[in-house]
A and B are shown apart, each in its own frame.
Chain A
Amino acid sequence: MGALWIRELRSYWQSRFEALQCLAVFSVVLLLFPLGVDPEPELLRLMAPAVIWGSALLACVFGLETLFRQDLREGWLEQAQTSIWPLPLLLALRMVAHWMFTGVPVVLAGVLGAAALGMSEPGIRAVGWSLLLGTPSLVALGSVAAALTANLTGGAMLSALLVLPLYVPVLIFGASAIALAEAGQGTDASLYLMGCSLLLSILLAPLASAAALKVVAE
């Protein structure tokens, strides 16, 4: 088990610059919104929850591309099926490693971005917490779409179409946590709900992804 985990980390470390593209996409998208409107502090602060979460969703969707495709081509799935460990567990390891290399940088950059958009201190804290709880659910849900399109060339667009509707709850709870914190209200309710969807998606997504990978690899 430990060896598998180290293998995942090592393979992500080897392609760390690819994984960091996720961070770059997040930052660029975040940068585009203030350029599109008058950069008035008041307006930016109002838009900040939507901007941060919209950028996080897009960055995550682009990151999904790297989740399974290469491995499927190299026969990883056949090997994984002969392993003593169940496939969903292996996929869960993969998701955690993927999140560490694509999600964590986005959380950190999101906090910086929130400061750049002129948010208050509780607002910045809410950005950090909501991204920390939300990005793993994005990766978990996204893994299902990535698995369903793993065998297609140019499946990135399709996987975005499949997964973005499913991201709605995370977007709503995440953005509302930030907006509530900015308005000086408590954010517990939204964050607990995000924690709930995180638990649910961590439990179910590996199973669904494993089923999906088996179906499309047939």
Chain B
Amino acid sequence: MNRFWTTFHQWGSPPTFYRFARALQPWLLVPAVLLIVHGMYAGLVLAPADYQQGDGFRIIYVHVPAAWLSLFVYTSMVVAGAVALIWRMKIAEVYVVDAAYAGAGFTAVALLTGMLWGKPMWGAWWVWDARLTSELILLFLYLGVIALNRALPDRRSAARACAILAIVGVINVPIVHYSVEWWNTLHQGASITRFEKPAMPMSMLWPLLELSLGSMLFYFWSVLLRMRGSLLERERRQAWARAVAADAQPS
């Protein structure tokens, strides 16, 4: 048990984490690029066109990974937020704030691609459907975290405030989701059930899984990059950060 806590604290110390992240990043980026490139090729070229939606269905290869990640990132922010509040771990604080940017990005991509798909398929850019609406609310939750972080002057207390907000938000997310679903069914009946899951043939499913995994690896790569930047900025007076900066500068 003791050894576990030692490792835990070491991993939580900014210089160790910085070095670990720097070493890990190529191992995330290379598979991410390979998976995304191959998945895109398989999804856009190799997979057959859908018998109902034609080539239009291919937008799911961007839409579904983005939508999954938008939820995954929020969940991970909440876990990191709890760690930040309980153990005051600096890395977790940095993660809560930095993940919000990527999360907001994925949410926006999911919404935009959904709208692009909705226009030809449903005949409208926007439908007041439960899933669309709760995804939009999720975007506002992310924007709230970002705005709160930018408004508070002290970095550490800003991150902990964001953690509280994320946790309060996550208790709300299921309630919001179900309330929106009931609201929809109360008023107009289920007019749209996104797409009736036709059991996808493997040639369509594989690229989706590849792209989801690839996007997730890309997300981890990008969030680590951002966290490294934040750590350097936060610890700019520490010896280790100065050493890193001195190394990077061509003398």
Smallest Cβ-Cβ distance to A157: which chain B residue: B147
* Prevailing SS type, chain A contact patch: helix
CA distance A179 to B188 in the complex (A): 13
Smallest Cβ-Cβ distance to B181: which chain A residue: A172
CA distance A169 to B172 in the complex (A): 9
B33 close to chain A: CB less than 8 A: no
Instruction: List A164-196 residues whose CB lies under 8 Å from chain B.
Output: 164-166, 168-169, 172-173, 176, 179-180, 193
CA distance A71 to B140 in the complex (A): 29
Known: A161-B143, A162-B148. A168 touches B164 (CB 8 A): no
- Residues of A contacting B148 with CB < 8 Å? 148-149, 158, 162
- Residues of A contacting B186 with CB < 8 Å? 176, 180
Question: Are A173 and B147 neighbours in the complex by a CB distance under 8 Å?
Answer: no
Number of A-B contacts (CB under 8 A): 76
- Residues of B contacting A151 with CB < 8 Å? 152
- Residues of A contacting B13 with CB < 8 Å? none
Can you name 26 A-B residue pairings with CB atoms under 8 Å?
A141-B168, A152-B151, A158-B147, A158-B151, A161-B140, A162-B144, A162-B147, A162-B165, A165-B140, A166-B176, A168-B176, A168-B179, A168-B180, A169-B175, A169-B179, A176-B182, A176-B186, A180-B186, A204-B168, A211-B85, A212-B161, A215-B157, A215-B161, A215-B164, A216-B152, A218-B154
Q: Which residues of B contact A (CB under 8 A)?
A: 85, 137, 140-141, 143-144, 147-148, 151-152, 154, 157, 160-161, 164-165, 167-169, 171-172, 175-176, 179-180, 182-183, 186-187
